[in-house]
Amino acid sequence: MKRIVVLTTIILLITTNMNAQNLKGNNWTARKVDRTYIVSVADKSSVLDALTDFVIAQKIPAGQITGIGATNEATLRFFDPVTKKYVDKTFNEQMEISNLSGNISEVLGKPMLHLHVTLGRKDYMALAGHLLDAKIRGAGEFFVYPVSSKVIKVKNEAVGLNFYDFGK
């Protein structure tokens, strides 16, 4: 009986870890569980650089990203569709990344991360917008859900942005 319990425990431990794999890259470590990746971006490193390196290293053609963490330097970008110009603003202060949502696609043959963020300030008020980049200060915890085929974004000249167009 004891032997059966020990054997069952060993088999369970092996099968639970069979679908998990630890990975490492430039300023990130990750664990792949089934088809999902859990990514940790290192303290004091760029979210965009680390996640782009991760996507290239893991050959992820497209997918979804979610994340939480903390930053002390974040640049948000605002697009004005009338002038088709960007206005960038950098916030140098300690903030919570209370939510990061984004997608991974391909633009002109290169991986493109489109990230939006909500940042919590010291006074608990929030900043939000399109995230150009942020430097992690504390934790940077992300979940990446890949899809198995390429998803290409094309520049829409009338709007002035790259986006999905599945009508062509």
User: Of 8-16, 68-76, 88-96, 124-132, which part binds Fe ion (CB under 5 A)?
Assistant: 124-132
* Closest CB to Fe ion among residues 58, 162: 162
Least distance in angstroms from the C-beta of 90 to Fe ion: 17
Q: How far is CA 104 from CA 61, 121, 148, 168, in A?
A: 7, 27, 12, 20
Q: Which of 25, 118, 130, 152 binds Fe ion (CB under 5 A)?
A: 130
CB of 135 to Fe ion, least distance (A): 19
Give the chain's largest Cα–Cα span. Answer: 76
Q: Which is nearer to Fe ion, 32 or 130 (CB)?
A: 130
Sequence-separated contacts (24+) of 106-109 with Cβ below 8 Å: 106/61, 106/62, 106/150, 106/151, 106/152, 106/153, 107/152, 107/153, 107/154, 107/155, 107/162
Q: Does 32 bind Fe ion (CB under 5 A)?
A: no
CB 45 within 8 A of CB 136: yes
What whole-number distance in Å separates Cα of residue 72 and Cα of residue 137?
6
Residue placing its CB nearer to Fe ion in the complex, 94 or 163: 163
CB of 18 to Fe ion, least distance (A): 38
Taking alpha carbons only, the member of 114, 111, 144 closest to residue 129 is 114
Task: Select from 13-21, 47-55, 62-70, 122-130 the region that touches Fe ion (CB under 5 A).
Answer: 122-130
| Residue number with CB closer to Fe ion (25 or 129) | 129
Residue 164 lies near Fe ion (rule: CB under 5 A): no
Interaction site with Fe ion (CB under 5 A): 130
